[in-house]
Amino acid sequence: MHKPILLIILILFTILSGCSTKKSLPIEDLPSNNNEWHPKEVSPSSFEIEQIVKLANNGMVIDSPFTVFESTIQQVRSDWGEPDQIDEVAGGSYATYKERNTVFGFNQDGEIYDVRFYNNNLRELTIEEVEHEIGQPIDIRKNNQESIYVYELKNEIELKMIFPNDTKRLGHISIYNPALAKAEQYVLDIKGNSNQLSDKAWKNMQNWRDQIKKFTVEHKNVYLNGPNKKRVALTFDDGPDDIITPAIINILNDYKVKGNFFFLGTNVKLHTDVVRKAYESGHLVLSHSLNHIELSKLGKGEVEKEIVSAGEEIQSVIGKKPAIIRPPYGETNEQVVSVSEEQGYSIVLWSIDTLDWSQRESTNIVDNVVKNLRNGDIILMHSDSDKTETEKALPLMIEALEKMDFEIVNLEDLLNIKAYQ
């Protein structure tokens, strides 16, 4: 072929190719597919912000299945095990899982209202990038250490982006549900009556009940009752002995329900087989101090001795040190709370007093429970040697509770606290 002809063919091919090729549209102008923005090219930082917001709208953070809508700390414990630490704050508690880079805030009912996520990769994100991707926050809260950028998401939950002031890069994020965080404390009045008390004794008891309820509200580590759910706990003080306590254990075992025994350290030493039987039957073996004396009237060193010695006696039998204590007579104060916390204990009192130590008839013991029963009640009984009527009342009480569709659980499950250290 002659060169002029070949040149003409090449020119024509180039012109035709150019006419048949459309100019590409900018990516931003491409139609979306089902309202999703897949084609848009984004930087790694932008992609992480998009992921954070998407999860946050579902109440979640990265690498966690738990939400601030319906998850509980008990579910977290079941799936992830015990947290590395729990910090008590006004109105709630925070459980830290270091290896998971996650912290859960939960209320008295165990409902998770705050999920915080920490990860070094978050530090790649700057304030400018966050504002560019999701806009201006509804609020910026500042202190000496950090700036908190608050974004309101669907269902009125908040996404908080926390920037340390020294770096202005993202330190951690928080998904926060104000409705659960601000839930009022569910603290019950203490119920139970006896016709064997004098007017003066009854008045004193009523005054104490009012005062201890107020004290409980003000102290996170002190409990009168559990959450507002159809569950209750049966508790027994002052044992063990070699007659009534074993009988109570057998009744609980026969009905396949769990009990909570607050044993005196001095009695533990005398009846190790009974303590071991209670523990091996699946009931909780907890502390009622070493001797049955008012801890609130002792000096700090004496309070420490009562708590530590009782724990050591129990540990010597079952191999575990309890993490729950009930002070004798329910008497407590700031010092008792402080020492208990230092020694790893929560204080658990009661919301129904059967008064099996006063009006001892089995009918009155059962009536004090059935006629006063509410969600989350902690029921006080005794298991020392003169409580034959309590032994008689217990089967009737269990049957009545089950007929009313109440679940009988141990204190660890009722309160979402550790039974042992």
Question: Per the residue annotation, which of 109, 237, 238, 356 is the catalytic one?
Answer: 237
414 within 8 A of 390, measured Cβ to Cβ: no
Q: Which two tokens stand for residue 71?
A: 């998850």
Q: How far is 371 from 262, CA to CA, in rounded Å?
A: 25
Cα distances (angstroms) measured from residue 130 to each of 52, 65, 95, 115, 371 = 11, 24, 27, 19, 57
Q: From CA 135, how far away is CA 127, in angstroms rounded?
A: 10
Query: Can you say whether the dihedral through the CA atoms of 124, 126, 131, 137 is positive or negative?
Result: positive
Catalytic-residue membership of 172: no
Considering only CA atoms, which of 389, 327, 403, 406 is closest in space to residue 354? 389
Query: Pick from 312, 351, 347: which is nearest to 327 by CA?
Result: 347
Which tokens in the block code for residue 191? 């119920």
283 is catalytic: no
**Pair 235, 326: CB distance under 8 Å:** yes
168's CB contacts (< 8 A; 6+ apart) are: 126, 127, 147
Q: What is the DSSP letter of 21?
A: P
Spatial contact of 216 and 330, defined as CB atoms under 8 Å apart: no
- Residues recognised as catalytic: 237, 382
